[in-house]
Amino acid sequence: MATVTTANGHASEHHEVGSNYLNARKGVLSWLFTLDHKRIGVMYLAGTLFFFMIGGILALLVRTELLTPAGDLFQGDTYNRVFTLHGAIMVFIFIIPSVPAALGNFVLPLMLGTKDVAFPRINLLSFWIWMLGTAFLLYSIIAGSVDTGWTFYTPYSSDPQVGSQAGSAIIWALMGVFILGFSSILTGVNFITTVHKMRAPGMTWTKMPLFIWGIYATAVIQVLATPVLAITLLLLTIERTLGIGIFDPALGGDPVLFQHFFWFYSHPAVYIMILPGMAIISELVTVHSKKNIFGYKPIAYSSMAIAIISFLVWGHHMFTSGQSELASTVFSALTFAVAVPTAIKVFSWVATLYKGSISLNTPMLYCLSFLFLFTIGGLTGLFCSTLATDIHIHDTYFVVAHFHYVMMGGTVIAFLGGLHHWWPKMTGRWYNENWGRFAAALVFIGFNVTFFSQFVLGSQGMPRRYHTYHSASPDLKAIFTKWHQVSTVGSYILAAGLFITLFYLLHSLFRGKKVAEKNPWGAKSLEWLTETPPIEHNFHEEPVCLHGPYDYDEISPDGQGAGADEDDDSPLYLDKKTEAKKAEEPKAEEKKAEEKKAEEPKAEEKKAEEKKAEEKKAEEPKAEAKKAEAKKAEETKAEEKKAEAKAEAKSDDEADKDKK
Amino acid sequence: MSYMQTLLAGAAKRTFWMPETAATQAENVDGIFYFIYWLCVFFFVLIVGVMIYFVIKYRRRGAHDRTSDIEGNTRLEIAWSVIPSVLLLVMFMWGFRDWMSLNVAPEGAIDVRVTAQRWQWNYALPRHGCDGVDELRVPINEPVKLTMSSIDVLHSFYVPAFRVKKDALPNRYTVLWFNATKLGTFDVFCTEYCGTKHSTMYSKIKVVTRAEYDKWTKSGCGMDNLSPKELGPKIFKMRGCPACHSIKKGVKGTGPWLAGKYGTIETLADGSKVKIDDEYIRESIMNPNAKVVKGFGPVMPTFKGRITPKQMNALIDYIKSLK
């Protein structure tokens, strides 16, 4: 047991060997009343993962019902309740808090090199509020269960005369989501303040890891958009309980107004869900390829651009709703504007892999899965933002597939990648790497089988939220049946992959090999500087940030990169104690120096390579100018990329030959 | 462009991605769909191809692999920002152009009123005095304009083969038009979630020749020449009564079953008793929540103004006849 810390948490006291945030205090209450961001993060993690499982089981029920055209597993009303719960749990209880509140809470202060978030008590409050909101939402199941869909469209949700018979369950669910919103806002406020005020000395905005940028952009949306949802749900509750007409036409309200209000939050909420996923990918793609990020600033600023534009595109959920043609046109144009920063991110991640040292471990497999799946998710968004094609695919399975590719293929896959990436640091234990890779492959295959088939279903005309599909004409019914069955089989594969993950992670908690190193991945961000698992107050001494977050030891200096003028032997981040330890181990330093010497000739070879590559590049514009005349714009781009890749590849080959 | 034409010519029948095309706009929509589709395929192959190439070429070979200090490439970054932007602009403009033509019905289009009600579609042709039609017929190669509304919650009118979709709202009219190019029967789905039987809120559009269409409208859209005995069950089914009221004894739905009820005494929600006679049936259709039978909620919509006296008589006779 470590010494009890003083009120201001000054980390100057002695820590016993082996004391960490997990065992420093004991008992259930020490968890429930903890102010430690790491413990709050772990509690969020356990909670959100549990509800991910519940939501997933509900999804399996939905998929099983759709195996056949007739409704043979559920009554219509039951089915409607099941898919509503699936959506509500996944969106409000799981995905929104999953990355920021669970992983973000754990990692963000460590990455910033600080002791905790800015407002530890508010952080704890946010978790309690999350539990309270979850309790409300769960109680709605007992109170009759909501059947409105997670979107609560009016007047179905507001007018019992013509709409839902779910009664008070709707109020409970609305209040649940209302309360969960506050949890989200509090997390956002906390993170914004922490990022502004508590960065380690030397950590300028452009030296922050990109994970922080992503979480920061998310926090801005959480704080600005969530209140609108709160107001909307409150208005709906008022209408339903007091009969004041706001959205219900029977009372003089306007149902489309509800959609505007709802999507004014819920579209930015899509980015509350995906930006943290993107943030994780920026970490995974660099750490597991030991590679500097390609285009730090474009990735960082595109997060902010997405955050801002996300507020201006809500109307693209309403192209068929009867909103004015002008509004739809403007929303379509603005929606295309989101595609640009998103594309920049994807291109930059792929370019980051170039000339890296790519390890195909579990986190990297999830990262590559993300790039594959999110590319599909993003590209299929183009069909949805184009007015003419959206009319056909709106409210069909095409849209269902699209947002699952983004939300699950994007966020959840990134979340799983991040979970495996930080798991050794969080728990101090290793999971079984072979099972990890196997499960990642299973999840990838299962996911694609489940959701790619839904693109076909949707473009063929299968509407969403259908309990049965036996009404359709025979040939359409045959197509629907076939692809629904493919999708259901896929969902079982996906579930198998996720359950395997659950089992080996649980196994690792108790039986996993202990993590011996502070920094098993050789990462450069600050969270890897502390003990594994971290001590209660994160760092023995306040760390100082000297270099960028992606300046890997393995990067060969070429005289051009930032930091090349610095002494190459200095550690990228300094922890005073670490430094002291290093001083005690001159032998290790000597060894390193020897290695460096041995590697020097290689570095020179690299320089030669790069010179050659530059020469090639210089030749490129001429060749390209000719091509550009002949070919279309998109082809030019491909050529450029290919040519460049080829040029580099060639120079590589040549260099290899030279070596021989 | 010739490849586009072959695509469009081939797209009339069902393809892997798209249902058959049976309206003028459908072909336009498919044109832009496939334009975006092939762009997506191109970019997907490019991104994932390059990624896989890198993963193979630069896979980790040892713990101390050297990596390159590349922080960016301005030319490349400008290229991959500007080129997609231009393509996105093309998509937007094309989508916008075709969408406007989806929204503006040509003059002289045949007028059809559509009323959505949980869980059925009702069509009316005011010019021909037809109302309460459950299966719409339209002439081939003529524009048809649907003016839609709902009497309860939101619904959405969707014909996959025509590539048209529009919500029906309770507080305003929305308009949708199409010009069918193929004879046959086409699915109509509701695509805005509307509760228990959302998935069976289904109807058909039958595209016929002009001559057949004229014959149909002259016969009161298939209603006038029916005898009261045929009309009763038809109205019963068309108005969606079976969704809640079973015609079998002992089958309780959202509402009470109707077989053998005529002439019996029912207990109402407030405990009073009422005899089931012609007047009670009429009142229950026009003002359904005035006298609700015990054990049921006041959830039935009114049919005031949507059932003609002739239809009412036929309906009451039909309910009487249920044993």
CB atoms B59 and A360 under 8 Å: yes
Residue of A nearest to B46 (CA): A638
pLDDT in the model for residue A261: 92
Q: What beta strand segments (E) does A415-547 contain?
A: 544-545
Reported as a single tens digit per residue, the pLDDT across A322-332 is 888 999 999 99
For residues A171 and A235, give the distance between their C-alpha atoms in angstroms, rounded to a whole number. Answer: 11
Selected residue of A352, A437, A471 to mutate for chain B interface (largest B Cβ count, 10 A): A471
Of A400-414, A582-596, A612-626, B240-254, which has the strongest mean pLDDT?
A400-414
Q: Beta B202-208 vs B135-139: how paired, if at all? A: parallel
Pair B153, B54 in one domain: no
Residue B248 belongs to a domain with what CATH number? Answer: 1.10.760.10
Pair B205, B274 in one domain: no
Pair B301, B267 in one domain: yes
Choose the final residue of a domain: B163, B195, B218.
B218
pLDDT in the model for residue A609: 53
Res. A251: pLDDT tops 90: no
For residues A523 and A520, give the distance between their C-alpha atoms in angstroms, rounded to a whole number. Answer: 8
Q: Three-state DSSP class for B180? A: strand
Of A389, A476, A638, the CB nearest to B33: A389
Res. A624: pLDDT tops 70: no
Q: Which residues 263-292 of B are in CB contact (within 8 Å) with A?
A: none
Rounded to the nearest integer, the mean pLDDT of chain A is 84
For residues A575 and A587, give the distance between their C-alpha atoms in angstroms, rounded to a whole number. Answer: 20
* A2-15+36-511: CATH topology: Cytochrome C Oxidase; Chain A (1.20.210)
Res. B147: pLDDT tops 80: yes
Q: A122 is written with which tokens?
A: 């508010």
List the helix and strand counts (H, then E) for chain B: 7, 13
CB atoms A357 and B71 under 8 Å: no
- Sign of the CA dihedral running A296, A298, A304, A306: negative
Res. A205: pLDDT tops 90: yes
Q: Which residues contact A24 (CB under 8 A, 6 or more apart)?
A: A1, A2, A535, A536
Contact A524, A570 (CB under 8 A): no
Pair B202, B233 in one domain: no
Q: How confident is the model at residue A478 (pLDDT cuts 50, 70, 90)?
A: very high
Res. A453: pLDDT tops 60: yes
pLDDT in the model for residue A163: 80
Pair B87, B125 in one domain: no
Q: What beta strand segments (E) does A239-292 contain?
A: none
Domain boundaries, chain A: 2-15+36-511
CB atoms A147 and B152 under 8 Å: no
Res. A573: pLDDT tops 60: no
Residue of B nearest to A375 (CA): B44
Reported as a single tens digit per residue, the pLDDT across A539-566 is 998 898 888 888 887 776 543 333 333 3
Pair B234, B316 in one domain: yes
Pair B40, B85 in one domain: yes
Q: Which helix (H) or strand (E) holds A382?
A: helix A362-385
Report yes or no: B69 at the A interface, CB cutoff 8 Å.
yes
Confirm whether B65 is domain-assigned: no
Report yes or no: A301 at the B interface, CB cutoff 8 Å.
no
Q: Three-state DSSP class for A538? A: strand
Reported as a single tens digit per residue, the pLDDT across A276-308 is 999 999 999 999 999 899 999 999 999 999 999
Beta partners for residue B186, in sequence order: B205
Higher-pLDDT residue of A393 and B119 is A393
Confirm whether B276 is domain-assigned: yes
User: Longest C-alpha distance within chain B, in Å?
Assistant: 93
DSSP state of B273: E
Show the DSSP H helices in A143-254 as ranges: 168-197, 210-242
CB atoms A320 and B166 under 8 Å: yes
Range of the domain at B274: 228-321
Q: How confident is the model at residue B102 (pLDDT cuts 50, 70, 90)?
A: confident
Confirm whether B290 is domain-assigned: yes
Res. B69: pLDDT tops 70: yes
Report yes or no: A73 at the B interface, CB cutoff 8 Å.
no
For residues A324 and A437, give the distance between their C-alpha atoms in angstroms, rounded to a whole number. Answer: 50
pLDDT in the model for residue A6: 36
Rounded to the nearest angstrom, the minimum Cα separation between A151 and chain B is 10
Reported as a single tens digit per residue, the pLDDT across A98-115 is 999 999 999 999 999 999
Pair B305, B233 in one domain: yes
Report yes or no: B64 at the A interface, CB cutoff 8 Å.
yes
Q: Which amino acid is at B265?
A: I
Choose the final residue of a domain: B196, B218, B240.
B218
Q: Three-state DSSP class for A632? A: coil
Secondary-structure breakdown of chain B: helix, strand, coil percentages, each rounded to the nearest 5? 40, 25, 35
User: pTM of the prediction?
Assistant: 0.82
Residue B195 belongs to a domain with what CATH number? Answer: 2.60.40.420
pLDDT in the model for residue A332: 94
Confirm whether B155 is domain-assigned: yes
For residues A2 and A138, give the distance between their C-alpha atoms in angstroms, rounded to a whole number. Answer: 39
CB atoms B153 and A155 under 8 Å: yes
pLDDT in the model for residue A586: 45
Report yes or no: B90 at the A interface, CB cutoff 8 Å.
no
Of A343, A390, A564, the CB nearest to B84: A343
Pair B114, B208 in one domain: yes
Residue of B nearest to A161 (CA): B299
Q: Which residues 185-214 of B are in CB contact (within 8 Å) with A?
A: 185-187, 189-200, 202, 204
Report yes or no: A162 at the B interface, CB cutoff 8 Å.
yes
CB atoms A558 and B68 under 8 Å: yes
CB atoms A388 and B94 under 8 Å: yes
Selected residue of A62, A68, A156 to mutate for chain B interface (largest B Cβ count, 10 A): A156
Res. B222: pLDDT tops 80: no
| Whole-number percent of chain A with pLDDT over 90 | 68
For residues A549 and B37, give the distance between their C-alpha atoms in angstroms, rounded to a whole number. Answer: 38
pLDDT in the model for residue A548: 84
Of A320, A333, A633, the CB nearest to B83: A633
For residues A641 and A627, give the distance between their C-alpha atoms in angstroms, rounded to a whole number. Answer: 13
pLDDT in the model for residue B224: 63
Contact B205, B185 (CB under 8 A): yes
Beta partners for residue B188, in sequence order: B203
Of B47, B171, B199, the CB nearest to A467: B199
pLDDT in the model for residue A557: 53
For residues A248 and A256, give the distance between their C-alpha atoms in angstroms, rounded to a whole number. Answer: 10
Q: How confident is the model at residue B184 (pLDDT cuts 50, 70, 90)?
A: very high
For residues A596 and A603, give the distance between their C-alpha atoms in angstroms, rounded to a whole number. Answer: 10
Selected residue of B17, B34, B47 to mutate for chain A interface (largest A Cβ count, 10 A): B47
For residues A592 and A585, give the distance between their C-alpha atoms in angstroms, rounded to a whole number. Answer: 11
Q: Which residues 370-429 of A are in CB contact (within 8 Å) with B?
A: 371-372, 375-376, 379-380, 382-383, 385-392, 394-396
Report yes or no: A163 at the B interface, CB cutoff 8 Å.
yes
Reported as a single tens digit per residue, the pLDDT across A380-434 is 999 999 999 999 999 999 999 999 999 999 999 999 999 999 999 999 999 999 9
Rounded to the nearest angstrom, the minimum Cα separation between B56 and chain A is 9
Pair B288, B262 in one domain: yes
Reported as a single tens digit per residue, the pLDDT across A131-189 is 999 999 999 999 988 999 999 998 899 888 778 888 789 999 999 999 999 999 999 99
Residue with tokens 């919103």: A181
Report yes or no: B171 at the A interface, CB cutoff 8 Å.
yes
Residue numbers in B near A315 (CB within 8 A): none
pLDDT in the model for residue A622: 45
Q: Three-state DSSP class for B213? A: helix
Q: Which helix (H) or strand (E) holds B216?
A: helix B210-218
Q: How confident is the model at residue A583 (pLDDT cuts 50, 70, 90)?
A: very low
CB atoms B95 and A389 under 8 Å: yes
Pair B279, B309 in one domain: yes
Res. A117: pLDDT tops 90: yes
Selected residue of B4, B39, B69 to mutate for chain A interface (largest A Cβ count, 10 A): B69
Q: Which residues 569-608 of A are in CB contact (within 8 Å) with B?
A: 595, 599, 602-603, 606
Q: Which residues 131-160 of A are in CB contact (within 8 Å) with B?
A: 147-149, 153, 155-156, 159-160
CB atoms A358 and B174 under 8 Å: no
Residue of A nearest to B66 (CA): A554
Average pLDDT estimate for A56-85: 94
Q: A534 is written with which tokens?
A: 């971290």
Report yes or no: A433 at the B interface, CB cutoff 8 Å.
no
CB atoms B95 and A387 under 8 Å: yes
Q: How confident is the model at residue A632 (pLDDT cuts 50, 70, 90)?
A: very low
Res. A626: pLDDT tops 70: no
Pair B183, B243 in one domain: no
Res. A238: pLDDT tops 60: yes
Average pLDDT estimate for A52-70: 96
- Per DSSP, the residues of A48-98 read HHHHHHHHHHHHHHHHHHTTSSS--SS-HHHHHHHHHHHHHIIIIIIIHHI
Q: Which residues 338-367 of A are in CB contact (within 8 Å) with B?
A: 339-340, 343-344, 346-348, 350-351, 353-360
pLDDT in the model for residue B110: 94
Selected residue of B153, B173, B186, B289 to mutate for chain A interface (largest A Cβ count, 10 A): B153
CB atoms B196 and A354 under 8 Å: no
User: Longest C-alpha distance within chain A, in Å?
Assistant: 84
How many domains does chain B fold into?
3
Q: Which residues contact A372 (CB under 8 A, 6 or more apart)?
A: A444, B48, B51
Of B48, B92, B200, the CB nearest to A375: B48
CB atoms A379 and B48 under 8 Å: no
CB atoms B84 and A340 under 8 Å: yes
Residue numbers in A near B32 (CB within 8 A): 386, 388-389
CB atoms B55 and A368 under 8 Å: yes
SS3 assignment for B104-147:
CCCCCCEEEEEEEECCEEEEEEHHHCEEEECEEEEECCCEEEEE
List the helix and strand counts (H, then E) for chain A: 20, 3
Choose the final residue of a domain: B218, B251, B267.
B218
